[in-house]
Chain A
Amino acid sequence: MVVLKKYPSSIKGGEMEDDEEFDTVVSDSESDLESESDGEEKDEIKLTEPSKTAINNKEGLLEKLSEISWPKDADWIHSLSVVIDQDQEVDVNDDLAREAAFYTQALQGTREAFAKLESKGLPYLRPFDYYAEMVKTDAHMGKVKGKLLLEKKLREEQEERRKAREAKKFSKQVQAEKQKDRAKEKKESIESVKKWRKQREKSGYANDKDEMKLSFEEGGGGAKGKRKGPPGVSPGDRSGGKAGKFNKGGQKGMDKKRKSRDFKDSKFGFGGRKGGKKQNTAETTNDFKGFNKESRSGNKKRRQF
C-alpha cells in the first residue's frame, strides 16, 4: 500500500497548511501528476448520445477473435492472466478511488496467480541472490530515494513549524498559569510562616534557646551572603586568595586558573618586551590560519542583510 498511502498524505498536506512556502512547493509537485491527468480527462468531451452511424459488427468481431485467439487447451502458464470482478462502478474523476480500484484489482489478481503457481510447484519468487538487470537503473532509483527522503524531511519540518506555531498560540496561557501558580506558592509559604509564629506564641517560646540559636545562625548566613571579595578566600586572608595557591596544591580550580593565566600571558604578553611580538614578520604576513571559517561566514551573512 505504499503508493496509496502516499497520495492521501500529500493531498492532506496541500490542503491543511497552504500558508507555508514549503507546503505549497510540496503540494504543487505532488499534485502535478494528478492535475495533469485531470486536465487531459476534462478536455475529453464525450458525445452525450452515441452516434447512430457507428459500426459495431459483432459477428465480425467474434469471428476475428476466434481466428486469432490461442487454442482453448493452451496452458495457463502461457497467458498468466487473471480476470478480476470489480464489485462496484468506479468514478473516473476521483483519482484516489480509481487508483485504489486498480490497485485492488492487481493485488487480487496477483494473489490468485501466485496461488495457482504455488499449486503447480513453479518458481515465482526471486531468490535473494538472484541479481539481474532491472527495468529502472540504479541511478534512477537513487533519484527516487532522494526525492522520498527530501519529502520526508520537508514533512518533518512542516510538522515542527506547525508545533511551534501552536505552542506560540498557547504560550500566553501557559505564562498566565505559571504566574498564578507562583503567586499561590508565595501566599502559601507566607501563610505557613504566620502559622508557625502563632504556634510559637501559643507554646510561649518554650524552646526559645534553640530558636535564638537558629535565628542567629540564619543571621550569620545573611552576613555571609553580603560579604565582598573573591570567592573561596577566607575572611582573614589579606593576600587576595593568592597565598592559598602555594600552600593548598590540592585545589583544582586554582590550577586551572593558573594555566589559563599562563596561556593568556603567552598570548597577550606579560613580562619582557612586547614590541617585536605583535608585529608581522615575513612568515606571518601570508599566514591566514587565524582567520577561521565561522567569522567569515558571519561576515557574509552581514553582507546579505
Chain B
Amino acid sequence: MGWKTKPQEEDGEERENGDAVHVPVFRNKEKVLITCSRRINFRYRHLMLNVASLLPHSKRDSKVESKESKGATLNELVELKNCSSCMFFECRKHKDLYLWMAKSPDGPSVKFLVNAVHTMEELKLTGNHLKGSRPLLTFSANFDKEPHWMLLKELMLQIFQIPKDHRKSKPFHDHVFAFSIVDDHIWFRNYQITVPHNEPTKMDRGGLDKMTLTEVGPRFCLNPIKIFGGSFGGPTLYENPFYISPNQIRSLQKKKKAGKYVKKVKAKTRRKMHELSNPMERDELADMWKE
C-alpha cells in the first residue's frame, strides 16, 4: 500500500502547492535507473555508460542476473532506488541488445531491439559538450501520427530530458538530441551545437545561420518490439507486426546455408541413376588397337 501513494506524488511530476497560491506548479522530478543484465558485452556496456553520462538525473545500479530480469525484481529495484523510470539494457547471447524503457510503477513499458550501435568513444564522432547541460530535443513529425509513436515520444521526452534546475545540470544548452522515425525505427543522434559569437552570452546577428552541429554520439537505432501496459509487464498494448527476432533471422540464414552436403550426395546419386538408366552405346572403334 505504501508504495502506491508515494509514487503517485512523484510519478505525476506534478506537485500542487495549491494551498497558498492555488496555482499548480509543475516540477519535473524524474529519476532514471540505468542498469543492464549480466554478461553484457563491452560495446553495449559502453553505450549504457554513455547514456548514463548524458543523463545526470540517472542512477546506476549493479548488473542484474538475467534470470532475475523478470519484472518483479526490476520493479523492486526501481522502487528501492527511488526512481520513476528505468532503462534496462538486456544483452542476450553476447550479441543482441534489447532496451527496456519503463515508467514505474504503473507503466507503460516498452521493449526495443537496439541496432547500429556506435559509442561515444569512437574517434569519428568529434564533438564534445558540457556534461549535464540540458539537451534540446527534436522529434520528427511522424511521431504524432500513430498512438504508439505518441506514447513512445512522451516516454523518451520524460526519460531523456534533464529536469529543469536539477542540481547536476548546467544552465546552458550546447547539445541537441535528434529522435527520428525512419523505416519504423527510432534513430537517436546527439549533436554538439557550435555558434560563433563574440559577446559572451549573446549571439551575433545572423548567428542562427552560421550555426553548425558536430556529432558527439552515441548513435543507436531502436526497433520497438512490444509496448506493455505495466512496468516490465502487464497487458500488451502494442506489438510490432513487422518484427522478427534476431534468433529467427539467424536460424533462417542457417537453414539457407544448411543441406549443402545432403544436396551434394543427392546430386551424385541422381547422376549415378541417370548413368545406369541411360548406358552409353558401345564405341565401335574401342578395340581397334587391341587386335
- Is there an interface contact between B244 and A68, defined as CB atoms closer than 8 Å? no
Known: A98-B182, A109-B176, A136-B120. A3 touches B215 (CB 8 A): yes
Query: Is A58's beta carbon under 8 Å from chain B?
Result: yes
Interface 9-mer from A126-134, A174-182, A286-294:
A126-134
Query: Is B9's beta carbon under 8 Å from chain A?
Result: no
Residue of A with least CB distance to B208? A111
Q: Give the complex CA separation of A54 and B243 in angstroms.
A: 10
- Is there an interface contact between B203 and A125, defined as CB atoms closer than 8 Å? yes
Known: A33-B124, A50-B242, A70-B13. A110 touches B176 (CB 8 A): yes
- Is there an interface contact between A123 and B214, defined as CB atoms closer than 8 Å? no
Residue of A with least CB distance to B220? A37
- Is there an interface contact between B139 and A74, defined as CB atoms closer than 8 Å? no
Known: A37-B116, A44-B115, A124-B173. A134 touches B128 (CB 8 A): yes
Known: A2-B214, A135-B129, A136-B128. A103 touches B191 (CB 8 A): yes
Interface mask (A1-16 → B, CB under 8 Å = 1, otherwise 0): 1110010000000000
- Is there an interface contact between B54 and A135, defined as CB atoms closer than 8 Å? yes
Query: Is B77's beta carbon under 8 Å from chain A?
Result: no
Query: Is A183's beta carbon under 8 Å from chain B?
Result: no
- Is there an interface contact between B138 and A82, defined as CB atoms closer than 8 Å? yes
Binding site for A on B (CB under 8 A): 11, 13-14, 24, 26, 28, 53-54, 103, 106-108, 115-116, 118, 120-124, 126, 128-144, 147-148, 150-151, 154-155, 157-158, 161, 163-164, 170-174, 176-178, 180, 182-183, 185, 187, 189, 191, 193, 195, 197, 200-203, 208, 211-216, 223, 227, 229, 235-244, 246, 249, 252
- Is there an interface contact between A46 and B136, defined as CB atoms closer than 8 Å? no
- Chain B residues within an 8 Å CB radius of A206: none
**How far in angstroms is the closest Cβ of chain B from A95?**
10
Specify which of A47, A81, A128, A135 is in contact with B139 (CB 8 Å cutoff): A81
- Is there an interface contact between A47 and B141, defined as CB atoms closer than 8 Å? no
Query: Is A283's beta carbon under 8 Å from chain B?
Result: no
Residue of B with least CB distance to A128? B200
- Is there an interface contact between A80 and B161, defined as CB atoms closer than 8 Å? yes
Residue of B with least CB distance to A58? B147
Q: Give the complex CA separation of A82 and B121 in angstroms.
A: 28
- Is there an interface contact between A81 and B211, defined as CB atoms closer than 8 Å? no
- Is there an interface contact between A110 and B136, defined as CB atoms closer than 8 Å? yes
Interface CB pairs A-B, < 8 A, 17? A41-B116, A43-B246, A62-B147, A65-B147, A70-B13, A78-B164, A80-B135, A80-B136, A81-B138, A82-B139, A84-B139, A103-B213, A110-B191, A126-B174, A132-B132, A133-B130, A134-B128
- Chain A residues within an 8 Å CB radius of B246: 43-44
- Is there an interface contact between A84 and B141, defined as CB atoms closer than 8 Å? yes
- Is there an interface contact between A83 and B242, defined as CB atoms closer than 8 Å? no
Residue of B with least CB distance to A38? B116
CB proximity to B under 8 Å, residues A95-112: 98, 101-103, 105-111
Q: Give the complex CA separation of A58 and B132 in angstroms.
A: 36
Q: Give the complex CA separation of A7 and B135 in angstroms.
A: 25
- Is there an interface contact between A61 and B151, defined as CB atoms closer than 8 Å? yes
Query: Is A144's beta carbon under 8 Å from chain B?
Result: yes
Specify which of A58, A84, A130 is in contact with B138 (CB 8 Å cutoff): A84
- Is there an interface contact between B126 and A2, defined as CB atoms closer than 8 Å? yes
**How far in angstroms is the closest Cβ of chain B from A170?**
37
Q: Which of A55, A73, A85, A101 has the most CB of B within 10 A?
A: A55
Q: Give the complex CA separation of A57 and B177 in angstroms.
A: 29
- Is there an interface contact between B176 and A54, defined as CB atoms closer than 8 Å? no
Query: Is A140's beta carbon under 8 Å from chain B?
Result: yes
- Is there an interface contact between A115 and B26, defined as CB atoms closer than 8 Å? no
Q: Give the complex CA separation of A153 and B158 in angstroms.
A: 45
**How far in angstroms is the closest Cβ of chain A from B21?**
14
Specify which of A47, A62, A73, A127 is in contact with B200 (CB 8 Å cutoff): A127
Residue of B with least CB distance to A87? B141
- Chain A residues within an 8 Å CB radius of B147: 58, 61-62, 65
- Chain A residues within an 8 Å CB radius of B126: 2-3, 144, 148
Q: Give the complex CA separation of A132 and B203 in angstroms.
A: 21
**How far in angstroms is the closest Cβ of chain A from B211?**
7
